[in-house]
């Protein structure tokens, strides 16, 4: 199974997907980022993976940017497109082209807290449980069919930082496993 991984930031999920590649049944054939400063670019290099960098700020519209992404994907024809901290909303055009092939990981127990600042929102609401969700991407933000969800308990002394760390640790474990079982 060939996959392409999209990221925008630190890339801990990318790193874990790459580290587990040999023991699981997928192959990362390329990575993609919209952020020329993302740490995941170096992670890709360390694993000898070609990383396509396309700065969205150089495009007039989301559609034009996504058309370029589509050309890139068509050349590679991956089985799945894995979003791992990719911080751009995909246009309907791209979602339709790659229907049921784009997977995302979102740091909340969806349908709770789609969008940004999920750890802060869970803390402010006084939630006892928080977690992460792996789901298919549809044109509704963070609302596609759920593939896997896992929760953690929020401790009284948890902060945004501690939750970020705990959730990423959990994601780094379950994302590669889940991809492998697609």
Which chain residues interact with ligand GRF by CB under 6 A?
A: 7, 9-14, 84-85, 105-107, 132, 167-168, 171
Place of tokens 């082209």: 97
Catalytic residue among 56, 106, 119, 130: 106
Pairing of strands 146-153, 129-136: antiparallel
Which residue, 9 or 114, has its beta carbon nearer to ligand GRF? 9
Is 12 annotated among the ligand-binding residues?
yes
What is the C-alpha separation between 46 and 120, in angstroms, rounded? 33
Q: How many residues does the chain have?
A: 182
Is 146 annotated among the ligand-binding residues?
no
What is the C-alpha separation between 73 and 101, in angstroms, rounded? 11
CB of 10 to ligand GRF, least distance (A): 4
What is the C-alpha separation between 59 and 120, in angstroms, rounded? 32
Residue 176 — φ and ψ, nearest 5°? -60, -45
CB of 15 to ligand GRF, least distance (A): 8
Is 159 annotated among the ligand-binding residues?
no
Q: Give the nearest residue (CB) to ligand GRF.
A: 85
Is 11 annotated among the ligand-binding residues?
yes
- Identify the bridge partners of residue 84 per DSSP, sorted by sequence position: none
First CA to last CA distance, the chain: 9
CB of 22 to ligand GRF, least distance (A): 20
Which residue, 55 or 64, has its beta carbon nearer to ligand GRF? 55
Which residue, 67 or 123, has its beta carbon nearer to ligand GRF? 123
What is the C-alpha separation between 106 and 103, in angstroms, rounded? 10
Mark whether 135 is an active-site residue: no
- Taking a C-beta distance cutoff of 8 angstroms, is the pair 136, 144 a contact? yes
Is 121 annotated among the ligand-binding residues?
no
Which residue, 67 or 139, has its beta carbon nearer to ligand GRF? 139
- Identify the bridge partners of residue 149 per DSSP, sorted by sequence position: 133
CB of 60 to ligand GRF, least distance (A): 26
Query: Binding site residues, as ranges?
Result: 11-13, 62, 87-90, 104
Query: Binding site residues for (6R)-10-formyltetrahydrofolate, as ranges?
Result: 62, 87-90, 104
- The catalytic site residues sit at 106
């Amino acid at each position: 199974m060939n996959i392409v991984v999209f990221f925008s930031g630190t890339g801990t999920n990318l790193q874990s997907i790459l580290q587990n590649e040999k023991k699981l049944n997928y192959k990362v054939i390329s990575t993609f980022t919209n952020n020329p400063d993302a740490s995941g670019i170096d992670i890709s290099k360390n694993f000898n993976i070609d990383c396509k960098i396309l700065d969205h700020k150089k495009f007039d519209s989301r559609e034009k940017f996504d058309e370029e992404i589509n050309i890139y994907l068509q050349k590679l024809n991956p089985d799945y497109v894995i979003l791992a901290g990719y911080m751009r909303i995909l246009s309907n055009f791209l979602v339709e082209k790659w229907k049921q092939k784009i997977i995302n990981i979102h740091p909340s127990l969806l349908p709770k807290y789609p969008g940004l600042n999920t750890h802060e929102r869970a803390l402010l609401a006084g939630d006892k449980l928080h977690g992460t969700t792996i789901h298919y991407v549809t044109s509704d933000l963070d609302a596609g069919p759920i593939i896997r969800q896992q929760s953690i308990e929020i401790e009284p002394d948890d902060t945004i930082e501690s939750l970020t760390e705990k959730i990423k640790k959990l994601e780094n474990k379950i994302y590669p496993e889940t991809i492998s079982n697609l």
